[in-house]
Structure 1
């Protein structure tokens, strides 16, 4: 198993633990309200785990494929270029993820994004982009109207975690077989 996937597997547990904390806290009467921010935090941690996975995976794969070039001018150029690109690589939606893997590895990883329930890559890409947008809302828009509906429900947060676990699994498999 690659290091990037191992890091993801540990990181995604943060989101799962936040949802467990939500379950415990939602029934505490002294709070006086639902701890909605914990569901948003779980969403944010899930997408953070995804972003870290993509960055680590591309770095890992490029290092492995350019191992014989390490220390050479061309090897240093590739490493510096990737390092620079990753400084500006934020919020890996489907297009950004596709672009960086194509640029450095010559593979469109989004073509392999299928699994039961997500048999169509276009649906998977669209769902990834929806989660990215929802994460942006969770980060930048605190819920000020406590009477309004929550940004994300607990079942949605659980679906999000499951989605990204599957996405990492199929991405990792595709890169391993490439």
Structure 2
């Protein structure tokens, strides 16, 4: 188990704490003031931010492990600069960006391990990952102003999201431990 997965789990605990707040407020008998939808959006954002942090952290762990022996020489310095620049521009790690990062620097097809539960192919996992990334963008950039419209994030979606990313990170971490 990597240090990155431990950090990921700690980050998810914050998202779960927000969901507990939402659930606790939802149980209040006085329904004149429903729990703020912002708690659900914030939870989704935190889950996806935990994923982004995991991908960056595990890539740094791998880089240090694979290339520590060339640190300080010209090629090592060049690689560190390229890797650092890549991570600085690495936002919203959808399936393509994530696959490209691990392929480019480690020669690994990280998506090959993305087969689990109700996702029999890595393509289906990639599609679901991209949908969650898109929903995160909506939650960040689209204020919920129309009180009649459906909410961007449903409470049940967040349980699915947590399960999906926990499973995705475990599969990714197990695969990367072997390369």
**Pairwise TM-score range, normalised by the shorter structure:** over 0.9
Write out per-residue CA displacement over residues 19-59 of structure 1, whole angstroms, 9 at most, x where no aligned residue: 11100112343762332111111100000000000011111
TM-score (norm. length: structure 1): 0.96
- Mark the runs of 5 or more structure 2 residues left unpaired by the alignment: none
Provide the rounded CA distance (Å) in 1 between the counterparts of 2:39 and 2:120.
31
TM-score (norm. length: structure 2): 0.95
Matching residue of 2:135:
134
- Contact kept? 2:15, 2:47, Cα under 8 Å: yes
- Contact kept? 1:26, 1:35, Cα under 8 Å: no
Please, what is the CA RMSD of the aligned residues? 1.2
- Contact kept? 2:25, 2:34, Cα under 8 Å: no
Matching residue of 1:95:
96
Q: Secondary structure at the match of 1:117?
A: coil
Q: Secondary structure at the match of 1:150?
A: coil
Structure 1 residue ranges, 4+ long, deviating more than 6 angstroms after superposition: none
Provide the rounded CA distance (Å) in 1 between the counterparts of 2:6 and 2:73.
30
- Bigger drift between 24-33 and 34-43 goes to 24-33
Matching residue of 2:18:
18
Matching residue of 2:4:
4
1:1-150 alignment to 2 at 5 Å? Answer: 1-28=1-28, 29=30, 32-150=33-151
